[in-house]
Chains A and B, each alone.
Chain A
Amino acid sequence: DTGVSQDPRHKITKRGQNVTFRCDPISEHNRLYWYRQTLGQGPEFLTYFQNEAQLEKSRLLSDRFSAERPKGSFSTLEIQRTEQGDSAMYLCASTLGGTTEAFFGQGTRLTVV
């Protein structure tokens, strides 16, 4: 257990539905990242928060995706109007300051049917 919690662990949804995932980082970590990982590939960066501010978004993050970190603690990632191509593992990671050791959660596996 890395101390980063993600919920749910698995989500199956029908195409067109909205889904929301939650990440609880390690409590003192001010930096939070979302990544997406498809089978056989390395994680791909989606977005970054420093405290409550979203400071970087990847071009992978289409306008159907939105992420928040309202109080600088937990974060949510919402996907609207899901598509089959959204099926992937969504990973959250947190770090303290500029340290390189990012702690990852176990991920939320999304399957869009």
Chain B
Amino acid sequence: GESVGLHLPTLSVQEGDNSIINCAYSNSASDYFIWYKQESGKGPQFIIDIRSNMDKRQGQRVTVLLNKTVKHLSLQIAATQPGDSAVYFCAEKRGATNKLIFGTGTLLAVQP
């Protein structure tokens, strides 16, 4: 395969710090934006979603921000823990079938 695909953007943080993972999207017509976490050898796991008419939504230790003006989505993780280490993907829900269009992942590495 292409080696360029292995070079995921990486965010390295210290345990206990806050993490911010960013994502740019392309389709202004998407109804929902979703963040997924994927650990090695596992399928993506839903974290949080946000409807396109909102600009902020909070969950447990996570906050998603949506800036429609610049088509930007971010995921904030408070008090990052070693168990948060994974690849994080943003995704758009697209069309009547609700299929997911995934963006480029970000590898979050939490240093103890």
Contact = CB atoms under 8 A, between A and B. Distances in A.
A42 B89 CA distance: 7
Interface string B79-112: 0000000000101010101111111110000000
Interface residues of A, number: 30
A67 B105 CA distance: 27
Contacts of A45: 99-101
A104 B99 contact: no
A39 B41 contact: no
Contact of A33 (B42, B89, B99): B99
Contact of B103 (A38, A42, A48, A91): A42
Given A40-B5, A40-B7, A42-B89, A103 B105 contact: no
A48 B10 CA distance: 32
Interface residues of B, number: 27
A95 B42 CA distance: 18
A105 B43 contact: yes
Interface of A: 2, 4, 31, 33, 35, 38-45, 48, 50, 55-56, 87, 91, 93, 95, 98, 100-107
A-B pairs with lowest CB-CB distance, top 3 = A42-B102, A104-B43, A40-B5
7 contacts: A35-B100, A39-B1, A39-B6, A40-B6, A42-B104, A102-B98, A103-B46
